[in-house]
Amino acid sequence: MRSSSKSLQDGKVKGETTPVSVLFAVSEIYPWVKTGGLADVACYLPQALREIGMDVRVVVPAYRSLMAQIHDYRVCTETRLPEAGIRYRLLEIMLPDSQVPVYLVDIPELYDRPGGPYTDPGGTEWPDNALRYAQFCRVIVAMTLNQAGLHWHPDLLHCNDWHTGLAPALLKAGGSNQPVVFTIHNLAYQGNFPYEIFRLLRLPAGFWSSESMEFYGSMSFIKGGLVYADRLITVSPSYALEITTPEYGNSMDGLLVHRQETLSGILNGVDYRHWDPRHDPFIWHHYWTDSLDIRRLNKLELQEELGLDRNPDAVLLSHISRLTGQKGIDLILYGLTDLLPDRNVQMVVLGTGESVYETGLLTAASARLGQVAVCMYFNEGLAHRIQASADILLMPSRFEPCGLTQLYALRYGNIPVVCTTGGLADTIIDVNEQTLSAGTASGFRFPDPTTSSLVTAFRRALDMCRSPGPGWHNLLRSAMQKDFSWNNSARRYAVLYDELVRVSPSRPAVQSHRTIPSDPGPVPGW
Ligand code: ADP
């Protein structure tokens, strides 16, 4: 039986939903290619949707680093893009330990390169990223329209972030009624390119309009999603409201106000099979709420691993992030003297990003040997070990669409100190007398992204952590028991899919659609 409820607004899922087949298009996926939380979502949300009966399949580019990790894929099809003439193969593999099929778009000249998904080994963006993701989007559209030679096609297309933003535009401009969901994981990344690139991509001329993908003299991939998708989802309810304001709208707020009827938030979740201190294979000592003393052993191990002073009584601060302005690492750097008032407070930072922050952190670490550890690389296991060892997570984000790091921290008892914005506001309950006695408190919030505000909240946390008595451990217990499992979010997505598929006209197995008036020849000059 299909759902009879329109329940996204009140957050309750009532009734049941019919299985819907979904193509989930995304630019990165854990465990093969990850730069941030998007990869976690691409891995865990489809699994949670499968568990409630949805036929979800993922499509990602076949990057070299990904291909190096897999062997048992199946070649499904080898064909040509009708509009662009480019040849591609679709490979299929199962996501590890899951029932989720993943299609890999194999176009060696675009994806078979060293480095990360978006950058070369030196961290510089690939100059042809517009082409790389435009062709990815063209393949997504072919798959959605059952024109890719697969014996499967989705009822609905679910796109994520700018890399997939052109797909809804191409699909709808081609006359398709196929429902499309577009999830905004971070509005700050828009995929904006100059007119010259728009011309080289040979997109329909009509896309160069302020009603379409033109954006203040550039072409904006994310606008393709924002304008053409049937529903827009942000990864937290607060962020859905925030991005309709000039402060957080990244100049898209006018458009988002216009599309407000279709915009809502569904909070991301945590896969507790992979993030749980009771059985995490990355950590040394497993523990739970009734064995918090064991947790201290992890701190000693981490101090050893990172060259920090071996000191079980030190309060260990942590920060795990892409080191960008968004994450507020500069607020931490400016506040270092207050955040590290004595040798009994230590800090570990795990992250890579802008060189100005990396340099600042290296300077801080060399001035405080044994007290500050800075790890400037990507290491999944270390992220888990830090969560299982540190006492306080500093997350002074200027904006935060959802944030998974604080959700993982809660489960591990690494108490978050967060700026009250976006998903941080939606997930962290501030410590005060009422929330402590009700057992709902989970962290320390501060109102503005300033160093003084951060330091004030941090002092509250430090005082409580150092106070004798059971207060701190009670806070850890209440934080660790919070439930942000993917199941809740998946059920909300399932209701949304169901609504959209129910209202869309039934489609033939093979779609015939208007030809998109783009130039058929291969794109020169790339
Ligand atoms: P965002 O998606 O904005 O990067 P999130 O908090 O939603 O932020 O997700 C970040 C994810 O990336 C988490 O899984 C976190 O553990 C991980 N992460 C970030 N930096 C690193 C790093 N240097 N090494 C390992 N994991 C990292």
Contacts of 347 (CB under 8 A, 6+ apart): 316, 317, 318, 319, 339, 340, 371, 372, 373
Q: Are residues 211 and 296 in the same domain?
A: no
Residue nearest to atom 17 of ligand 1 (CA): 36
Is 34 domain-assigned? yes
Length of the chain equals 526
Q: Are residues 316 and 216 in the same domain?
A: no
Question: Residue 501: how many CB atoms within 10 A of its CB?
Answer: 22
Q: Is 37 in the pocket of ligand 1 (CB under 6 A)?
A: yes
Q: Please indicate, yes or no, whether residues 242 and 340 belong to a single structural domain of this protein.
A: no
| pTM score, whole prediction | 0.93
Q: Kindly report which listed range (6-15, 168-177, 384-393, 473-482) carries the lowest average pLDDT score.
A: 6-15
Do 252 and 328 share a domain, yes or no?
A: no
Q: Is 275 a domain residue?
A: no
| 341 shares its domain with 469 | yes
Say if residues 161 and 39 touch (Cβ distance below 8 Å): no
303 falls within a domain: yes
Residue 250 lies in a domain: yes
Q: Which residues contact 393 (CB under 8 A, 6 or more apart)?
A: 317, 318, 319, 320, 387, 405, 406, 409, 414, 415, 416, 417
Residues 331, 242 within the same domain: no
pLDDT beyond 50 at 352: yes
What residues have CB less than 8 Å from 430, skipping those under 6 apart? Answer: 441, 443, 444, 445
* C-alpha radius of gyration, the chain, whole number: 23
The pLDDT of residue 220 is 98
Ligand 1 pocket check for 380: Cβ under 6 Å: yes
Strand partners, 182: 159, 232
3-state secondary structure of 406: helix
Q: What percentage of the chain has pLDDT greater than the value 70?
A: 92
- For ligand 1, whether the C-beta of 481 sits within 6 Å is no
283 falls within a domain = no
Does residue 7 lie in a domain region?
no
Considering the domain architecture, whether residues 465 and 492 belong to the same structural domain is answered as: no
User: What CATH number did the domain enclosing 366 receive?
Assistant: 3.40.50.2000
Alpha helices (runs of H) in 209-354, residue ranges in sequence order: 221-228, 237-242, 253-258, 292-306, 329-334, 336-339
393 Cα: distance to centroid of ligand 1 (angstroms) = 13
Number of domains in the chain: 2
Please tell me the distance from the alpha carbon of residue 155 to that of residue 170, in angstroms, as a whole number.
Answer: 17
Q: What is the pLDDT of residues 435-458, one digit of tens each?
A: 999 999 999 999 999 999 999 999
pLDDT, position 412: 98
Per-residue pLDDT tens over the stretch 322-334: 999 999 999 999 9
pLDDT at 18: 79
Reported confidence tier of residue 82, pLDDT bands at 50, 70, 90: confident
- Cis peptide leading into residue 108 (ω within 30°): no
Which of 507, 514, 435 is closest to 475 using CA atoms?
435
Same domain, 212 and 234: yes
Q: Kindly report the average pLDDT of the chain as a whole number.
A: 92
Ligand 1 pocket member 381 (CB < 6 A): no
pLDDT band with cut points at 50, 70 and 90 for residue 511: very low
| pLDDT single digits (tens) 134-177 | 999 999 999 999 999 998 999 999 999 999 999 999 999 999 99
The answer to whether residues 473 and 492 belong to one domain is no
Q: Do 209 and 108 belong to one domain?
A: yes
Same domain, 240 and 133: yes
377-412: b or e for each residue (b if 16 or more CB lie within 10 Å)? eeeeebbbbbbbbbbbbbbbbbbbbbbbbbbbbbbb
C-alpha closest to that of 323 among 123, 87, 109, 49? 123
Q: Is 284 in the pocket of ligand 1 (CB under 6 A)?
A: no
Closest CA to 262 of 238, 230, 235: 230
Gap between the Cα atoms of 364 and 317, Å rounded: 14
Per DSSP, what are the bridge partners of residue 101? 94
Q: Residue 430 sits in which domain range?
A: 292-480
| Residue 506: pLDDT band with limits 50, 70, 90 | low
Average pLDDT over residues 483-512: 82
Same domain, yes or no: 467 and 495: no
Per the domain annotation, does 4 fall within a domain? no
Question: 28 pLDDT exceeds 80?
Answer: yes
Distance 404 CA to ligand 1 centre (A): 7
| pLDDT of 418 strictly over 70 | yes
- Measured in Å, residue 493 CA sits from the centre of ligand 1 at 23
Q: How far is the CA of 31 from the centre of ligand 1 (A)?
A: 13
Contacts of 31 (CB under 8 A, 6+ apart): 43, 69, 96, 380
Is 522 contained in some domain? no
Cα dihedral 287, 288, 289, 290, rounded to 10, equals -70
pLDDT score recorded for residue 505? 67
* Token pair for 447: 């109102």
